[in-house]
Amino acid sequence: MFEGRIARFNAPGEPFEIRRVCIESVGAGEILIKVHRSNICGSDLHAWHGAFATRGLGGAMPTVLGHEMVGSIAAFGDGDELREDSNGEPLAVGSRVVFPYFFPCHHCRNCLAGRRVSCLKMGMAMLGDASKPPYFVGGYGDYFLLPAGAVLYKVPDNLSDELASGVNCALSQVMYGLERVELSLGENVVIQGAGGLGLFAAAVAKARGAKMVIVLDSVPERLELAKSFGADETVSLSEQPEVSSRVRLVREMTDGLGAEVVVEVVGDPSVVPEGLKMLAQGGRYLEIGNINMGRTYEADPSRLVMANKTIVGVSLYEPHLLSNAISFLTSHQHSLPMDRLVATSFPLEEINTAFEMADRRSIVRASIVV
């Protein structure tokens, strides 16, 4: 029997409710994770506001939010013999692990075609019903129950919980995005937005051999941080308030060509037309940030046609990339200023304060420690 707390999310706008719940056993193939920490990501905040409806994804209410988590194995399912991670590394009770927060079925036509991001029977953390067993359906709780068939990876001993907690979201996401747009050696990249995703995008773009990485944002500290994450040039929106002058600057920085890849990680549709103008002939626009439905921008499709430009929308990532993301993070943890991305920690009981502070952006990033 496993007893622990969850921070139950009853409805948007309502405070989280700390409840004690208990499950009798762990089913065959399932793995019970003792959560160490769960970050508060932008999509958790959107869900909290009701802007990103977990119900729209087939989710239940009440539920438990939280998906960027790291933990250790508390228990294996009854009778399970196979105790290794998705790389064949042995696992035991106590092993520290990370896992994608979504669970492709591995059997539908899209999974079989190698597109697990488009699984037709996708399960996900934060969508389960927290009013009935197994209760532990999101990261903000003492435990999280990993469903049978989930991909998981052991965390190397030299990678801290603080750094590992976000690896299954932002970093894996941008790695997958840059794969989807096939960023190649020597290409120019523009990144719209220098939040966590933008900073990782700069670092990964450089690691993939980008020639020039240009980052746009309005906050001077973020632009300075972008440089230490690999940006060659930055463009300040406050210094360059005109779209036309920003587009001209990017052209100048790229020998008049524009960028082969532009990455949108602002999360505002109004930046899309600007980004499309910054693309080179044959360029690819990587759309990651806009996750709130119903918001639009005006578009001139001839600009895509005449210049052979492509827009690629990317959500989630192929699960094996999480392993690559762990390797990337482990090998770059001392060469990149990762410590500046580490979140402020709050105990589970203070989750409401943590959400309010993260929402007001009075702290860069918040994490719930359990």
Residues making contact with Zn ion (CB under 5 A): 41, 68, 104-105, 108, 111, 119, 169
> Closest approach of Cβ 115 to Zn ion, in Å?
9
Q: One-letter amino acid identity for 162?
A: E
Closest CA to 199 of 177, 237, 227, 233: 227
CA–CA separation, 242 and 58 (whole Å): 41
Taking the least distance from each CB to Zn ion, the nearer of 114 and 294 is 114
The SS3 of residue 60 is coil
Which residue minimizes CB distance to Zn ion? Answer: 41
> Closest approach of Cβ 77 to Zn ion, in Å?
21
**Residues 235, 226, 244, CA angle at the centre, nearest 5°?**
15
The SS3 of residue 322 is helix
> Closest approach of Cβ 47 to Zn ion, in Å?
10
Taking the least distance from each CB to Zn ion, the nearer of 235 and 326 is 326
The SS3 of residue 188 is coil
Taking the least distance from each CB to Zn ion, the nearer of 276 and 358 is 358
Taking the least distance from each CB to Zn ion, the nearer of 193 and 258 is 193
> Closest approach of Cβ 314 to Zn ion, in Å?
14
**Residue 323 C-beta-side C-alpha neighbours within 13 Å:** 12
- For residue 305, count CB atoms less than 10 angstroms from its CB and return exposed for 0-12, middle for 13-18, buried for 19 or more: exposed
Beta strand pairing status for 279-287 and 259-264?
parallel
> Closest approach of Cβ 274 to Zn ion, in Å?
25
CA–CA separation, 293 and 295 (whole Å): 6
Element holding 199 (H helix, E strand): helix 196-207
Taking the least distance from each CB to Zn ion, the nearer of 20 and 115 is 115
> Closest approach of Cβ 294 to Zn ion, in Å?
21
> Closest approach of Cβ 57 to Zn ion, in Å?
14
Helix axes 42-49, 351-359, angle to 10 degrees: 100
The SS3 of residue 184 is coil
- Helix, strand and coil content of the chain, in percent to the nearest 5, comes to 30, 25, 45
Taking the least distance from each CB to Zn ion, the nearer of 68 and 187 is 68
Taking the least distance from each CB to Zn ion, the nearer of 66 and 134 is 66
Taking the least distance from each CB to Zn ion, the nearer of 110 and 160 is 110
> Closest approach of Cβ 239 to Zn ion, in Å?
30
